[in-house]
Chain A
Amino acid sequence: GNSVTQMEGPVTLSEEAFLTINCTYTATGYPSLFWYVQYPGEGLQLLLKATKADDKGSNKGFEATYRKETTSFHLEKGSVQVSDSAVYFCALNQAGTALIFGKGTTLSVSS
C-alpha cells in the first residue's frame, strides 16, 4: 500500500540556518504530494503541494520538488526563523483515498 517516510526529528537549528527535511514515498501511479505544518495545540495547515512529477511547490520561503525518479519530496528553506518552529508533515494522496501522512518532524529554531 501507499506510505510516506520522513526523517526522524527533532531537528534543532540556529536562526538563518539552512533547513532540509527528507521525505520519500511509496505509491502506485502518480500521487499528489503535500507538506503540512502544525503549530503547538493546533490543527494542520497546508504549507505547499505538488501534483505531478518535477513540479515545485513553494510558500513562505519553503520549497519542495516532486521527484518521481527518487520518489522524494524533500522540504527546504534557505534561512529559518524562530517562528518556523513547528511540526512538519509530509503527505500523499490519490483520488478516492484519504491523505496518508508521515510521522512528522519537529523543528526547533533558536535565536
Chain B
Amino acid sequence: DGGITQSPKYLFRKEGQNVTLSCEQNLNHDAMYWYRQDPGQGLRLIYYSQIVNDFQKGDIAEGYSVSREKKESFPLTVTSAQKNPTAFYLCASRMAGRGNTEAFFGQGTRLTVV
C-alpha cells in the first residue's frame, strides 16, 4: 500500500535535547512538508522540500532543521533552540510543480517535552 508514514506516534524529550521525527513516503512524490499543529492555531509550515537535496524555510523554521537526502525521506530535527516544542507534528507529501494536486498526510507525531 502506498502512503506516508511518520514515526514514532508519541515522543518524549527532555529539555535541552535534540530529537528527530521520521517521515517516509512511497508515493514517488517530489514535494514533502512539515507542519506544526497547536490548538486553535491551525497548521503552520515549518519546512518544505520540492526536490531532493533542496528545502526551504516555512513560517516557523527557527529551532528546527531538516534534510532531504532521499526522495522518500524528510526527517525533521527539533533542536534545543526551539523554545516551545510540545506540539503535534504532521508530515505531508504531494506531486510537485502543480498546484491542483492533493497533499497526503501521515498520522502525526505528538512530541512532549518533559
**Which residues on A are within 8 Å of B, measured CB to CB?**
31-32, 34, 36, 41-46, 49, 51, 89, 93-104
Contacts and interface: CB of A to CB of B under 8 A. Distances in A.
B106 A43 contact: yes
Contacts of A104: 42-43
A40 to B, nearest CB: 11
Contact of B108 (A34, A43, A51, A97): A43
Contacts of B2: none
A83 B103 CA distance: 23
A31 B103 CA distance: 15
Nearest to B98: A95
Interface of B: 6, 33, 35, 40-43, 45, 48, 50, 58, 90, 92, 94, 96-100, 102-103, 105-108
Contacts of B108: 41-43
A95 B97 contact: yes
Contacts of B107: 42-43
Nearest to A103: B42
Contacts of B42: 89, 101-104
23 contacts: A32-B100, A42-B107, A43-B108, A44-B90, A44-B92, A44-B103, A44-B105, A46-B102, A49-B100, A89-B42, A89-B43, A93-B99, A93-B100, A94-B99, A96-B97, A99-B33, A99-B92, A101-B42, A101-B43, A102-B42, A103-B41, A103-B42, A104-B43
Given A43-B107, A103-B41, 6 more contacts: A43-B6, A43-B92, A49-B100, A49-B102, A94-B99, A96-B97
Given A43-B90, A96-B50, A98-B48, A34 B33 contact: no
- Residue among A51, A89, A99, A101 with the highest chain B CB neighbour number at 10 A: A99
- Residue among B40, B58, B96 with the highest chain A CB neighbour number at 10 A: B40
Nearest to B107: A43
Nearest to B42: A103
